Chain A
Amino acid sequence: MSNQAAVIESTVRDPLILGKKDYHQITEDICRPVEGKANKYWWIAFIIAFTTMIWGILCLAYTIGNGIGSWGLNKTVGWAWDITNFVWWIGIGHAGTLISAILLLFRQRWRMSINRSAEAMTIFAVICAGLFPVFHTGRPWLDYWMLPLPNQFGSLWVNFNSPLLWDVFAISTYFSVSLVFWYLGLIPDLATIRDRCVTPTRKFIYGLLAFGWKGTARDWLRFEEVSLVLAGLSTPLVLSVHTIVSFDFATSIVPGWHTTIFPPYFVAGAIFSGFAMVLTLMIIARKVLSLEQYITIQHIELMNKIIILTGSIVGVAYLTEFFMAWYSGVQYESYAFMNRAFGPYWWAYWSMMTCNVITPQLFWVKKIRTSVLATFIISIFVNIGMWFERFVIIVTSIHRDYLPSSWTMYSPTFIEVGIFVGTIGLFFTCFLVFARVFPVIALNELKTILKKTGNQYKKKGTY
């Protein structure tokens, strides 16, 4: 920065965007993936993701055709991979809204490079998550009975006591608010693309999608107001969705589920896993789409700091659970936790502990948290660890509960694994398509943080 002495910029903070971009360059950089042809890597990734998704669809079709018996569940373990995957995906879906809403309210401007993809990720993750509760039921064609619809079955109504019903409300609300928020942010960028379109078809489609955005001051005023309102609406949702998901377990009487610590613990875990997934995706995206100057090491480091924080909260929660199990003096509770750590699923527990508690602590070292490769590896570890966390909570608690006569073991079938892998395929297929049709970075918003002054342009004489 020493060679830019003439520019008045903050000397305390590093710039959020590197490479001395000007406004036009930003537009060019970010529109390129949308307007140009897809490269080889995109196609390879797309074909793999798409094939995996098709595989998942086939496994799902088999399940619907034959019954939930094609999974590895049994009389004692009624939920396993299905709900594990559901909670995992919902957790992943937490980062998007957190970044766009809470960070917006806190005026964390660095969010602008990542919020678009993070929000898209949220939408896709919630879609993946939603598949599981929908298709884990024995008769999915009757799932609409779980909605409080007026009906002619008499006075049949849903059970408002059931946490599963709360889930239905929580997730559908979360999904719709996230979708609106994401799409709202897209509107100015879609207009930019519309304005640059060269073929009439594209112009027509993007024109429709841009809702007639003109970029006037009035447009921007309303845009920002609505953004604030939606941010205000979404903020409690970030906390509520996983709280309610945790109620599925916390309100039950299963030792290991019946825990009041679950809501904060689940929210922290969700943010933890959401940021890990954002990192995984962003690190790939910045490489593939050449966005290194927009998603910088600084972004990665900031996210890593959030990971240390939430990872530590999760770690403390794990230990607290153990303490409470011992302190409660309840035989079943203590056994449930001893069984987690030393029972037949000890490997799942210790995988969780290693991935979630130990690896994120490496980020205390600056060299590690500013290393792209190390971050990528650790983010993968966290993703795995968080999957195991849910598996540990669900399966190790119910496989040995009150009466030892009913204790069983659980192992998945390839159908269940296929469905899970299929949702990963679906997620990446959606994300890859998203990266080709929508700008992955909020380009118009990003321009607001580019410079403090317009001196650069003056000098060039462009205006």
Chain B
Amino acid sequence: MSKTYWKGVEELRNDAEFVRLKNNEFPEHLPLDEVLGEKAADITTTPRRDFLKFLGFSVAAASLAACEAPVRKTIPYLVKPEQVTPGVADWYASTYFDGYDYSSILVKTREGRPIKIEGNVLSGVTKGGVNARVQASVLSLYDSARLKNPVADGGPSTWANVDGAIKSKLDELAAKKGNIRILSSTIISPSTRSIIKEFASKYPTTKHITYDAVSCSAMLQANKESFGVEAIPSYNFDKANVIVAFDCDFLVNWISPIEHSRLYAETRKLNNGKKEMSRHIQFESALSLTGSNADKRIGIKPSMQGAAIANLYNAVAKLAGVSTVNAASVGENQKDIEATAKELWENKGKSVVVCGINHVAIQNLVNGMNSLLGNYGTTVDLDNPCMLRQGNDAELASLMDEMNKGEVAALFIYNSNPVYTLSNSFAEALKKVSLSVSFSDRADETASQCKFICPDHHQLESWGDAEPKKDQYSLTQPTIAPLFSTRQFQESLLVWSGNAITNYHDYLKSYWKEFFFKNAPLSIATEDHWNKLLQSGVFGGALMPAKNYQSSANLNTSADAVSKMSGSGIEMVVYEKTGIGNGLQANNPWLQELPDPVSKVTWDNYLAVSPKDAREKGWLQGNVVQVKANGNTVKVPVFIQPGQMPGTVSLAIGYGRTKTGKVADNVGVNAYVFASMIGGNLSYSASGVEISKTTDEDHVLATTQSHHTMMGRAIVKETTLEEYIRKPNAGNEEELFAVRVGKEEVKKTAKEVNLWDDHAEGNHHWGMSIDLNSCIGCGSCVVACTAENNVAVVGKAEVIRSREMHWMRIDRYFSSDADPKEGEKGDIKKMENPSDMPKVVFQPVMCQHCAHAPCETVCPVIATSHSSEGMNQMIYNRCVGTRYCANNCPYKVRRFNWFKYSDNAKFDFNMNDDLGKMVLNPDVVVRSRGVMEKCSLCVQRIQEVKLNAKRDGRTVKDGEVKTACSQSCPTQAITFGDYKVKDSELNKMWKPEERSYHLLEELDVQPNVFYQTKVRNVEEEKHS
């Protein structure tokens, strides 16, 4: 028996009162009835004390209600759509092709809105790669400049009216046997080609002309002459030991850059003890992104490129023991050319020569060279040709001819803007066409001059298919219902040609079913099969075995044609910028604000001139000059570009739009006017350029980086391949510091010295590795980060004030002639000046998530703190905005909201209208004015993966979390992972005795992000 304890003497006595209270849960009388009961309402008297309470309460309640922020209601689904779960993203496989960029993509949708584009790893072509333009295209979906309904004669119309008018006109023209022409950029969709064919069979006078604004038609022609195959080969850069490129920006612009950059990076990575890398030699006049990544870069004027190629051919031919061709002298470059030939020859069958010049004779010589080197069948694959450029310049020329003669009765313009890209000559010719129809999504330069605009869906609203490479397919499916009253181009044609199926989706399905039936291995043409295809997005047979080809073109004739090429005076290169490309997506503020990787200029194009010319001619940065070439004149600001070949200038296309929307209208000048038809092909260079200074006020260019050298600091550590082979930590030798332990002085590395206590660690310790050897600086990660994290666009004026908001930036440094040797101090003034022909390095920098973060200690309100998973976290709600953290950040990655960037007419970009706001990622808050923000290592993605793992009762798998930047990197230079997982990819990268290092490690802030030294395959050092 346990003892009995009494609560009190009352229990012992067992009083009647006690017994009564014991059964009561609340021993004292509670005045609930008075307050809540029916009687309460009857009480009319308010005692004095209660009066004051009531008064106080009501005043407080009234004032609190007045303080409350306006309520924005979220309305839940009454009937929830099957596939939509609020808060959970749906992913759809699709395809992006806009006539210029191609990628198989995955589209992330949230509550029915596409918000992000990522690469589809199942694709055999792009292999999960995307670039800045493809990723930014999700914002173009929500472009307020898009047409909301069809347009007839400049005014809004309906589809029924437009269809009626066009059909009757077509029938009328067909009766008169008037010529009908369809002008489009490259179409890689087999079903679309079939629809056009059907349309042509209904209206037999129809002819389809393919015109690419950035044309490769000379390559098609040259391949036909050389090998009898009118196709563009696939380039297997991954199989090349030596890559030689002539005026060819193959990493970001040329033909299939996403594919190229991934293959190229494979030859540049030195992970897991690999000791070999490719050697890349670039001959060019303007400093392209590809050229900046080259091991050796040789400046050649556009007019001398032909001669250089001919001489290189001869040098290779001599080594091969075959006859040489005529070649003009290239002067002092001959030595480099012969050295290059030697390297090529030593790597026969493992080398590749590529050339971006749209000139048949030159391309013939390049083909000849590749076939002498035995590259066909290994690095150059003509049996699985690339379909991404099919433009035929000769057909375009004959179309213009016909139009001028008034022989074209009807012109349908699809995915092409010839009034902009071909300037006034096309506009004049267009006036002579009686039925002109544009399928543009906006009333652009061409569409606004057409009788009808039948706006096409955005890619993300469309169905479709694509064949980027022969027999490699990718499907497009809509990820959102059409936002406006638009209709797909294919559907319009189906309607007008009176096809039995007018729904393109049905047409597509039946087209493919037929295809599957025809192709034995794919003959299970069920609905299920179709759905599976849609789910994976891609399919294709095995690649054809690549064969060796011998050029059968008459190279002597080609060489003679080349030797006749000449240039005089200043020569100009018309090039594409990494962000804006051909200008199709110019109205995309993400792309406008993406700094050009090489010049770091946003929101503008400019005349890039060499530092030498600028010194001699007295041009200063921002001076407005008048440029005259090919009979056209533009006024454009000067930008002094180290690496630009003296005697040449360059100007980017894609700018100078006039009718594309509020973002891009009148930004920069139109450089397409300087592209001219030479020898039947569009030539993107001009010679005899006259440049004269004007008295116009200087134009301020918005650059995000105004200082170009590393000032002799070990920021990007680099070494040469040979050094690296000899000593894996070459260029990354750890510095030892004298430290006193007790009375003894010992030498320790920065990492071993620690004045601080370490943070407590949780289950994860996230970190990131950035391989500077495979980063090509393309800016894909910057756009990915912008899209993922709702980073605000601030516009040109604010970029000029150095207030861009990018959480992630790519620092670009040029070498300086005055760069001192390590440890020595140089002339600081001279060190600020880059070399005229510098070496270039790129370094992506985002928050380094320091373990001993300088920002954390200085914040007075603990708005930035350390997580148990190693991340430095920014708590926006708590931030009062002292900016002390930004001052104290050695990496300068913190970004302050100087203004309210959303719902503010002064920042009239996507966050200022309801349509544009649909692109925002609901997992990431839009920051308010006056708070600091910065990279969070995509904490929302980490959280999602962790929650999924928790739900499934497992641990997070290595590589399961990918930050937006690491996911989007086309060269996979960024690895994200967990230090706590022993064999994680991240830990495999972290070998401090080799190439890994922390940026500014001497500060001992112990970043969780680390870099790996850049290794150059440089010749000079090789022989010294």
Q: A-side interface residues toward B, CB under 8 Å?
A: 66-69, 72-76, 78-79, 133, 136-140, 142-143, 145-146, 156-159, 161-165, 168, 248, 251-254, 331-332, 334-335, 338-339, 342, 398, 400-409
Partner of A164, one of B858, B891, B999: B858
B987 at the interface (CB under 8 A from A): no
Within the complex, the shortest CB–CB distance from A265 to chain B, in Å, comes to 20
Chain B residues with Cβ under 8 A from A139's Cβ?
879-881, 928-931
B860 at the interface (CB under 8 A from A): yes
Question: Do B803 and A79 touch across chains, with their CB atoms under 8 A apart?
Answer: no
- Chain B window 794-830, contacts with chain A (Cβ cutoff 8 Å), 1 for yes, 0 for no: 0000100111100001011100000000000100110
B512 at the interface (CB under 8 A from A): no
Chain A residues with Cβ under 8 A from B898's Cβ?
67-69, 73
3 closest cross-chain pairs (CB), A and B: A138-B881, A138-B930, A69-B898
Question: Do B892 and A406 touch across chains, with their CB atoms under 8 A apart?
Answer: yes
Tier of interface size on chain B: 35 or more
Question: Do B715 and A403 touch across chains, with their CB atoms under 8 A apart?
Answer: yes
Report if A164-B890 is in contact (Cβ < 8 Å); known contacts: A67-B929, A252-B858, A403-B715: no
B157 at the interface (CB under 8 A from A): no
Stretch at the interface among B200-208, B637-645, B704-712: B704-712
Within the complex, the shortest CB–CB distance from B700 to chain A, in Å, comes to 12
19 contacts between A and B (CB under 8 A): A66-B899, A74-B803, A78-B886, A137-B880, A138-B879, A138-B881, A138-B930, A138-B932, A159-B862, A165-B860, A253-B1005, A342-B828, A401-B892, A402-B713, A403-B892, A404-B715, A405-B811, A405-B813, A407-B707
Within the complex, the shortest CB–CB distance from A455 to chain B, in Å, comes to 61
Bound Cα distance from A134 to B61, whole angstroms: 29
Question: Do B890 and A137 touch across chains, with their CB atoms under 8 A apart?
Answer: no
Question: Do A78 and B711 touch across chains, with their CB atoms under 8 A apart?
Answer: no
Chain A residues with Cβ under 8 A from B894's Cβ?
75
Chain A residues with Cβ under 8 A from B712's Cβ?
331
B845 at the interface (CB under 8 A from A): yes
B519 at the interface (CB under 8 A from A): no
Closest to B810 in A: A405
B739 at the interface (CB under 8 A from A): no
Question: Do A162 and B884 touch across chains, with their CB atoms under 8 A apart?
Answer: yes
Partner of B896, one of A75, A161, A401: A75
Closest to A167 in B: B860
Chain B residues with Cβ under 8 A from A164's Cβ?
858-860, 882, 884
Question: Do B802 and A404 touch across chains, with their CB atoms under 8 A apart?
Answer: no
Question: Do A253 and B878 touch across chains, with their CB atoms under 8 A apart?
Answer: no
**Which chain B residues in 866-913 approach chain A with CB under 8 Å?**
878-884, 886-888, 890-892, 894-900
Question: Do B802 and A67 touch across chains, with their CB atoms under 8 A apart?
Answer: no
Question: Do B896 and A138 touch across chains, with their CB atoms under 8 A apart?
Answer: yes
Chain A residues with Cβ under 8 A from B883's Cβ?
73, 78-79, 136, 138
Question: Do B861 and A159 touch across chains, with their CB atoms under 8 A apart?
Answer: yes
Partner of A335, one of B803, B828, B896: B828
B854 at the interface (CB under 8 A from A): yes
Bound Cα distance from A404 to B858, whole angstroms: 23
B692 at the interface (CB under 8 A from A): no
Report if A137-B715 is in contact (Cβ < 8 Å); known contacts: A74-B801, A334-B825, A401-B892: no
Partner of B881, one of A137, A158, A253, A331: A137
B1003 at the interface (CB under 8 A from A): yes
Question: Do B890 and A404 touch across chains, with their CB atoms under 8 A apart?
Answer: no
Q: A67-B929, A145-B880, A331-B712 are in contact. List 9 more A-B contacts (CB 8 A).
A: A67-B900, A139-B880, A159-B861, A164-B884, A252-B854, A402-B890, A406-B891, A407-B707, A409-B706
Question: Do A162 and B930 touch across chains, with their CB atoms under 8 A apart?
Answer: no
B691 at the interface (CB under 8 A from A): no
B1000 at the interface (CB under 8 A from A): yes
Report if A403-B845 is in contact (Cβ < 8 Å); known contacts: A76-B802, A139-B881, A161-B857: yes
Chain A residues with Cβ under 8 A from B1005's Cβ?
253
Question: Do B931 and A138 touch across chains, with their CB atoms under 8 A apart?
Answer: yes
Question: Do B707 and A404 touch across chains, with their CB atoms under 8 A apart?
Answer: yes
Within the complex, the shortest CB–CB distance from A272 to chain B, in Å, comes to 25
**Which chain B residues in 922-937 approach chain A with CB under 8 Å?**
928-932
Report if A146-B880 is in contact (Cβ < 8 Å); known contacts: A252-B888, A408-B706: yes
Bound Cα distance from A140 to B898, whole angstroms: 13
Within the complex, the shortest CB–CB distance from B158 to chain A, in Å, comes to 44
Closest to B875 in A: A156
Closest to B711 in A: A404
Within the complex, the shortest CB–CB distance from B705 to chain A, in Å, comes to 5
Within the complex, the shortest CB–CB distance from B707 to chain A, in Å, comes to 4
Question: Do B710 and A404 touch across chains, with their CB atoms under 8 A apart?
Answer: yes
Chain A residues with Cβ under 8 A from B715's Cβ?
403-404
Within the complex, the shortest CB–CB distance from A233 to chain B, in Å, comes to 25
Chain B residues with Cβ under 8 A from A405's Cβ?
705, 707, 809, 811-813, 843, 845
Bound Cα distance from A377 to B487, whole angstroms: 78
Chain A residues with Cβ under 8 A from B886's Cβ?
75, 78
Bound Cα distance from A339 to B828, whole angstroms: 9
Question: Do B860 and A404 touch across chains, with their CB atoms under 8 A apart?
Answer: no
Closest to B999 in A: A403
Question: Do B861 and A146 touch across chains, with their CB atoms under 8 A apart?
Answer: yes
Within the complex, the shortest CB–CB distance from A382 to chain B, in Å, comes to 27
Chain B residues with Cβ under 8 A from A168's Cβ?
860
Chain A residues with Cβ under 8 A from B862's Cβ?
156-159
Closest to B709 in A: A404
Chain B residues with Cβ under 8 A from A156's Cβ?
862, 878
Bound Cα distance from A133 to B829, whole angstroms: 35
Closest to B708 in A: A404
Bound Cα distance from A219 to B679, whole angstroms: 107
Residue among A73, A158, A398 with the most chain B CB within 10 A? A73
Bound Cα distance from A248 to B883, whole angstroms: 12
Report if A403-B890 is in contact (Cβ < 8 Å); known contacts: A76-B802, A145-B861, A253-B1003: yes
Bound Cα distance from A164 to B887, whole angstroms: 13
Partner of B857, one of A73, A140, A162, A254: A162
Question: Do A138 and B880 touch across chains, with their CB atoms under 8 A apart?
Answer: yes
Question: Do B1000 and A402 touch across chains, with their CB atoms under 8 A apart?
Answer: yes
Bound Cα distance from A78 to B845, whole angstroms: 19
Chain B residues with Cβ under 8 A from A404's Cβ?
707-711, 713, 715, 813
Question: Do A252 and B880 touch across chains, with their CB atoms under 8 A apart?
Answer: no
Residue among A69, A74, A163 with the most chain B CB within 10 A? A69
Chain A residues with Cβ under 8 A from B705's Cβ?
405-406
